[in-house]
């Protein structure tokens, strides 16, 4: 029994980490814009599809395919998301609501574009993160190599982001811009450049997340249209929306809740339990688990 | 003044003549679907556009309405009229649950709770099989009848047009009263509204109640029009579509829902060319995206301007007395 | 369509005229000020007019019109391509030989998004607007439930590949609705029989999805097991889009299952089987039709090895008729055909046969279909039964890593 509980926790955490990585991208975006991008998860989908195209269809080496895919998605973030959608709406003094709706429509459009370009059939992802058939076995508990990769990446990402925001000049400038654009520009910070950077970071990190998700989710439109996007938002919100580490903890919480609802209560009503918890959490502690970083 | 009257007359004539001229039950059917969507979008305009309470879970109310009327009619033997009432009432009751989080939350957080609500309702519809028949759906829902005549698409069309006219007057009356002003005060600055003695809780309840009731009514219409309902019709994507309709039409305009819904419903149908089985959706969503991004006020103000330009005075800018 | 990447062209291939019209409108929308507005207003109705004109294409007199309604976007988008490819193969073959009784087949294809609400729109459109002679599809059971009355009211033949038992003539009593694939009841009962009689399962576990396709199969299999006096020890759900089934698998292990009945869609099947094997659970797995197609095995080839599935079609079928079809299909599309394509290929030829027997009169065609027999297709001899099913064909096969080995044919 103990072994089962442990196994269930490990798998729950593996899923939770993935929700958390998506949540980190949400945080990065919120930090500088104070907005939520409902087309957020489509960056993950695009990342996975681009990587698949470059690596599997065009046979480019992994590293080059990876860099190209992430760079392309970041470029989309700067040119389309910021250059068109964000600019238009902010230029008109449109509010949050306009942005939510516009990005929602952008998400639906990108989904349909993906179906046109790549078709609706999911593609299997190459085993670049270790074969799924020979996982690590420790005392009867199975851990996938892939989960370790995800863990390594997220830890590195959180530490890296922390360093970037607290120690580097650009990071500090970004935080200043997030707090007050006018003051920041008086201090000689290029506000335009900073927003562009934050859009690129948010979409780029999410594209990496998409590539990390692909072995589990396959290269499929489910990445961009499924429930994972909502769970990414949820983990960011539980973590307090400004703290990448918080988003990670939020994701882990959701992953564990899900797996233990299945284990102890019911697989049919799992999502009810998760979402009810989320709503209670939002009402009881809307500021999230963690303070601003 | 005379010219304006002619303008209204022309529009009224177009609306009345549509099914007679088209005479094609497929196009009338799609129009009926858009009118049903228009009811929901009108509710969303009231709740989101005027009262500032976002909802991304309206497919749930649409579903609750559809299931309530079909189950009460089929299982309890209610007359259809009573089924409609039950549908509206049930949605209003559920809206109370949903508005509780809105007392504390707003904006993005509220949208997340409404999404959660939509998913919860969907999972329950799918899994409570003894009540809802689960994914198999409910079939054999009787259509409307009046004086022994079974409704066809054209009958439904006129009934829906009449319903929408009534709902429009209802919303117009409300927005022009103290309620509407309280809604807008609450939308623009909740704290200030509270300071001026507006009980925002009551008005939030009211806003959620109205739009949930509208969605319930729409769900009831859909159930009886199509004769078959299943959980696939009430998923999250539908909720986003409804909000998309309200925004395409104009979120802050009384005519927003009425103009937005037919456009969003008809667009994919227009692009169904031979060989476009996968492209049509992309084309349709692209146009909607363009409207939402480049015309955040929606098409209704444009419609109003055009109307004023052709049929008279410019000074009457105050929202849409055009139906 | 991956092969498009081989060309430089990345943009979606839209048709010229419409595309320029679209860009024009978008450009117009951008210029929001002053006089431009008026042109704006003029361009939009103009475009709508053009689009409608294009949509209502002219119908040739000496043709017979088939409508195909299949899912190309949405949750069932995996199937749309297979259905359309096999369908068009049959149509083009017939047209190349001069059509049916001298009439060429004209085809209208629409996407139903695998959603009942959209299916009503498009089926009404093919029947009432395009006035087709025969409708093929929809392929999703709930969509068929939503639209079959439209076919009945308009007295148009509707040939579907959907498999839920609830669509039978005994249940819907729709004389215009016929089914081209075997009823799931038949196949799922074969599946249970196989588990009990061949595998000797006493404590089966069930994993199922949330659509009607999965839940009706679940009900059938539980019922069939009950006939053997067996009650499944674990009945677990996996929602479409779920990527982790650890909880469900652990529940099965805890209940001590000795076989697992897979009743989910393709992607979930891949996720489930992979995790099952990772966790070292080595009980036999028997899946229903979604577990017997490449959309599943391509995603998890190693883990799927050893999975037994009830199929309605497999390219490994040694039947020469099937082999000929597979060859033609591969030559044209560069990949293997998959279920449910074969049903629609058969369907086109069945209609051809019916017309050659009784002519183009709809009522006569319907009556002939009701007592149809004496035609051999990809699924063996097609004979209409009292439920309006033309086929009862099914196979039980085992996946071997690169293809299927047929164990039994029904």
CATH code, residues A2-284: 1.10.3470
CA pair distance C38, B309, nearest whole angstrom: 10
In a domain, C408, yes or no: no
The full length of chain B comes to: 323
Cβ contact C243–A216 (<8 Å): yes
Q: If you ran DSSP here, which 8-state letter would residue A1 be given?
A: -
**CB count in 10 Å sphere of residue C39:** 12
Residues 6+ apart with CB under 8 A from A233: A23, A26, A36, A40, B112
In a domain, C250, yes or no: yes
B/e letters for B75-110, b = 16+ CB within 10 Å, e = fewer, are eeebebeebbbbbbebbbebbeebbbbbeebbbbbb
Last residue of a domain, one of C257, C288, C311: C311
DSSP E strand boundaries for B199-315: 228-229
Q: Are residues C299 and C190 in the same domain?
A: yes
State the DSSP string of C33-53.
Answer: STTHHHHHHHHHHHHHHHHHH
Give the residue among A263, A245, A33 at the shortest CA–CA distance from A154.
A245
Cβ contact B26–C164 (<8 Å): no
Instruction: Look up residue C126 and give its two tokens.
Output: 């093919």
- Domain that residue C47 falls in: 2-55
- On whether any CB of chain B is under 8 Å from the CB of A277, the answer is no
Q: Are residues C157 and C106 in the same domain?
A: yes
CA pair distance C188, C398, nearest whole angstrom: 16
Cβ contact A116–C12 (<8 Å): yes
Pair type for strands C395-399 and C404-409: antiparallel
Q: Which among C25, C110, C164 has CB closest to B277?
A: C110
Q: Are residues C69 and C170 in the same domain?
A: yes
Q: Say what the pLDDT of residue B172 is.
A: 93
Calculate ∠ Cα A21-C75-C136, nearest 5°. Answer: 165
Query: What is the least distance, in Å, from the CA of B56 to any CA of chain A?
Result: 10
One digit per residue, the tens of pLDDT, for chain A of length 293 reads 888 899 999 999 999 999 999 999 999 998 888 888 999 999 999 999 999 999 999 999 999 999 999 999 999 999 999 889 988 888 877 677 888 889 999 999 999 999 889 887 888 888 888 777 888 888 888 898 899 999 999 999 999 998 998 899 988 888 888 888 788 888 888 888 888 998 999 999 999 999 999 988 889 888 888 788 999 999 998 888 888 899 999 999 999 999 999 999 988 999 999 899 889 888 888 777 776 55
- On whether any CB of chain A is under 8 Å from the CB of C29, the answer is no
CA pair distance C7, C334, nearest whole angstrom: 17
- On whether any CB of chain A is under 8 Å from the CB of B166, the answer is no
- On whether any CB of chain C is under 8 Å from the CB of B111, the answer is no
Instruction: Look up residue B174 and give its two tokens.
Output: 């409300």
CA pair distance C207, A145, nearest whole angstrom: 26
In a domain, C407, yes or no: no
Q: Considering only CB atoms, which chain C residues are within 8 Å of B232? A: 114-117, 142, 211
Last residue of a domain, one of C260, C295, C311: C311
Only one residue has tokens 């081989």, namely C6
Q: How far apart are the first and last CA of chain B?
A: 15
Q: Is the pLDDT of residue C7 over 70?
A: no
CA pair distance C124, C115, nearest whole angstrom: 14
Q: What percent of chain C has pLDDT over 70?
A: 84
Q: Which of A76-80, B42-46, B314-318 has the lowest mean pLDDT?
A: B314-318
Helix then strand count (H, E) for chain C reads: 15, 14
CA pair distance A57, C403, nearest whole angstrom: 23
With a CB-CB cutoff of 8 Å, which residues 228-267 of chain B face chain C?
Answer: 228, 230-233
Pair type for strands A141-143 and C308-311: unpaired
What is the tally of structural domains in chain C?
3
C340 conformational bin, left if phi > 0, alpha if psi -120 to 50, beta if neither: alpha
ipTM of the complex: 0.91
Only one residue has tokens 């269809």, namely A57
Average pLDDT of the segment spanning C243-258: 92
Residues 6+ apart with CB under 8 A from A27: A236, A239, A241, A242, A243, A244, A246, A247
Phi/psi at A59 (5° precision): 60, 30
Q: Considering only CB atoms, which chain B residues are within 8 Å of A36? A: 108
Chain B: partners with 3+ C-beta pairs within 8 Å: A, C
Q: Are residues C116 and C230 in the same domain?
A: no
Instruction: Look up residue B144 and give its two tokens.
Output: 């409307």
Q: Say what the pLDDT of residue A252 is.
A: 95
Cβ contact A124–C300 (<8 Å): yes
Q: Considering only CB atoms, which chain B residues are within 8 Å of A275? A: 116-117, 119-120
**CB count in 10 Å sphere of residue B317:** 11
Instruction: Look up residue B77 and give its two tokens.
Output: 């033997």
Q: Tens of pLDDT along C103-144?
A: 999 999 999 888 888 999 999 999 988 899 999 989 988 899
- On whether any CB of chain B is under 8 Å from the CB of A271, the answer is yes
Residue A130 burial (10 A CB sphere; 0-12, 13-18, 19+):
middle
| CATH classification at residue C330 | 3.40.50.2300
Query: What is the least distance, in Å, from the CA of B277 to any CA of chain C?
Result: 5
Q: Tens of pLDDT along C48-74?
A: 545 544 444 444 458 899 999 998 887
Q: Choosing among B135, B239, B305, which should be mutated to test the C contact, i.e. which has the most C CBs within 10 A?
A: B135
Separation in Å, CA A233 to CA A35, A212, A239, C350: 12, 18, 10, 51
With a CB-CB cutoff of 8 Å, which residues 290-309 of chain B face chain C?
Answer: 290-291, 294-295, 302, 305-306, 309
Residues 6+ apart with CB under 8 A from C182: C163, C312, C379, C389, C391, C392, C393, C394
Question: What is the interface size between B and C, counted as CB pairs within 8 Å?
Answer: 124
Q: Tens of pLDDT along A254-272?
A: 999 999 999 999 889 999 9
Q: Are residues C144 and C195 in the same domain?
A: no
């Amino acid at each position: 029994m103990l072994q089962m509980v442990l196994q269930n926790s490990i798998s729950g955490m593996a899923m939770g980490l993935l929700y958390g990585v998506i949540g980190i991208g949400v945080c990065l975006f919120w930090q500088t814009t104070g907005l939520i991008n409902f087309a957020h998860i489509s960056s993950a989908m695009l990342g996975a599809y681009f990587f698949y195209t470059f690596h599997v269809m065009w046979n480019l080496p992994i590293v080059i395919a990876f860099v190209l895919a992430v760079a392309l998605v970041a470029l989309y973030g700067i040119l389309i998301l910021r250059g068109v959608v964000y600019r238009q709406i902010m230029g008109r003094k449109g509010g949050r609501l306009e942005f939510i709706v516009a990005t929602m429509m952008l998400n639906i459009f990108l989904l349909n574009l993906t179906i046109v370009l790549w078709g609706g059939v999911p593609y299997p992802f190459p085993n670049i993160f270790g074969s799924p058939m020979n996982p690590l076995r420790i005392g009867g508990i199975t851990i996938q190599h892939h989960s370790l990769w995800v863990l390594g990446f997220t830890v590195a990402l959180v530490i890296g982001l922390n360093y970037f925001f607290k120690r580097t000049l650009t990071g500090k400038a970004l935080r200043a811009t997030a707090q007050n654009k006018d003051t920041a520009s008086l201090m000689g910070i290029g506000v335009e450049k900073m927003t562009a950077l934050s859009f690129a970071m948010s979409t780029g990190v999410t594209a990496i997340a998409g590539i990390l998700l692909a072995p589990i989710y396959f290269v499929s439109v489910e990445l961009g249209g499924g429930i994972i996007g909502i769970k990414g938002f949820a983990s960011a919100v539980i973590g307090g929306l400004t703290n990448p580490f918080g988003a990670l903890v939020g994701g882990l919480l959701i992953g564990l809740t899900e797996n233990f609802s299945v284990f102890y209560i019911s697989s049919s009503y799992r999502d009810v339990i998760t979402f009810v918890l989320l709503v209670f959490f939002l009402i009881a502690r809307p500021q999230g688990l963690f303070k601003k970083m | 003044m005379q010219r304006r009257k002619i303008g209204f007359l022309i529009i009224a004539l177009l609306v009345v003549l549509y099914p007679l001229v088209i005479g094609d039950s497929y196009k009338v059917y799609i129009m009926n679907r858009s009118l049903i969507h228009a009811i929901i979008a009108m509710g969303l305009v009231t709740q989101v556009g005027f009262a500032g309470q976002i909802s991304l879970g309206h497919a749930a109310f649409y579903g609750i309405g559809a299931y309530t009327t079909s189950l009460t009619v089929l299982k309890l033997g209610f007359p259809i009229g009573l089924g409609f009432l039950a549908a509206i009432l049930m949605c209003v009751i559920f809206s109370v649950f949903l508005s509780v989080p809105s007392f504390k939350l707003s904006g993005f957080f509220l949208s997340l709770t409404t999404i959660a609500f939509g998913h919860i309702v969907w999972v329950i519809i799918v899994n409570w099989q003894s009540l809802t028949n689960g994914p198999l759906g409910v079939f054999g829902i009787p259509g409307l009848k009046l004086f022994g005549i079974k409704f066809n698409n054209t009958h439904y069309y006129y009934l829906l047009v009449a319903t929408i006219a009534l709902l429009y007057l209802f919303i117009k009356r409300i927005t022009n009263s103290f309620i509407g002003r309280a809604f807008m005060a609450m939308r623009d600055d909740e704290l200030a509204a509270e300071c001026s003695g507006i009980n925002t809780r009551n008005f939030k309840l009211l806003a959620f109640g109205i739009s949930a009731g509208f969605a319930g009514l729409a769900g009831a219409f859909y159930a009886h029009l199509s004769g078959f309902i299943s959980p696939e019709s009430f998923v999250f994507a539908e909720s986003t579509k409804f909000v998309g309709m309200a925004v395409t039409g104009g979120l802050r305009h009384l005519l927003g829902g009425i103009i937005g819904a037919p456009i969003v419903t008809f667009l994919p149908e227009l692009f169904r060319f031979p060989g476009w089985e996968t492209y049509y959706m992309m084309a349709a969503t692209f146009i909607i995206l363009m409207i939402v991004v480049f015309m955040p006020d929606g098409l209704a103000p444009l419609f109003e301007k055009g109307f004023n330009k052709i049929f008279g005075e410019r000074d009457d800018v105050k929202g849409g007395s055009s139906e | 369509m991956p092969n498009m990447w081989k060309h430089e062209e990345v943009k979606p291939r839209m048709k010229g005229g419409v595309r320029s019209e679209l860009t024009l409108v978008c450009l117009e929308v951008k210029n929001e000020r002053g006089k431009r507005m008026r042109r704006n207003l003029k361009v939009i109705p103009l475009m709508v007019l053009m689009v409608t004109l294009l949509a209502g294409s002219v119908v040739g007199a000496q043709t017979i019109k088939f409508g195909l309604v299949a899912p190309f976007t949405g949750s069932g988008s995996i199937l749309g391509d297979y259905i359309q490819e096999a369908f068009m193969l049959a149509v083009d073959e017939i047209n190349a030989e001069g059509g049916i009784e001298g009439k060429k087949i004209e085809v209208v294809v629409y996407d139903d998004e695998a959603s009942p609400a959209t299916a009503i729109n498009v089926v009404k459109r093919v029947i009432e607007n395009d006035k087709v002679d025969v409708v093929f599809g929809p392929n999703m059971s709930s969509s068929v439930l939503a639209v079959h009355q439209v076919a009945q009211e308009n007295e148009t033949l509707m040939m579907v590949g959907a498999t839920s038992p609830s669509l039978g003539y005994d249940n819907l009593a729709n004389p215009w609705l016929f089914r081209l694939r075997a009823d799931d009841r038949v196949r799922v009962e074969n599946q249970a029989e196989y588990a009990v009689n061949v595998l000797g399962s006493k404590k089966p576990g069930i994993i199922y999805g949330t659509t009607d396709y999965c839940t009706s199969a679940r009900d059938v299999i539980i019922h069939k097991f009950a006939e053997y006096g067996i009650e499944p020890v674990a009945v677990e759900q996996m929602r479409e889009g779920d990527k982790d089934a650890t909880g469900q698998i652990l529940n099965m292990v805890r209940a001590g299952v000795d076989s697992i009945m897979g009743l989910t869609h393709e992607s979930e099947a891949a996720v489930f089987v992979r995790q099952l094997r990772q966790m070292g659970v080595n009980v036999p797995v028997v899946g229903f039709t979604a577990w017997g197609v490449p959309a599943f095995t391509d995603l998890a080839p190693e883990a799927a090895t050893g999975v037994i599935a009830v199929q309605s079609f497999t390219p490994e079928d040694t039947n020469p008729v099937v082999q000929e079809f597979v060859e033609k299909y591969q030559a044209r599309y560069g990949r293997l055909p998959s279920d449910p394509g074969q049903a629609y290929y058969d369907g086109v030829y069945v209609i051809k046969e019916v017309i050659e027997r009784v002519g183009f009169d709809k009522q006569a065609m319907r009556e002939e279909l009701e007592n149809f027999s004496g035609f051999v297709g990809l699924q063996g001899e097609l004979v209409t039964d009292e439920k309006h099913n033309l086929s009862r064909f099914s196979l039980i096969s085992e996946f071997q890593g690169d293809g299927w080995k047929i164990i039994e044919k029904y």
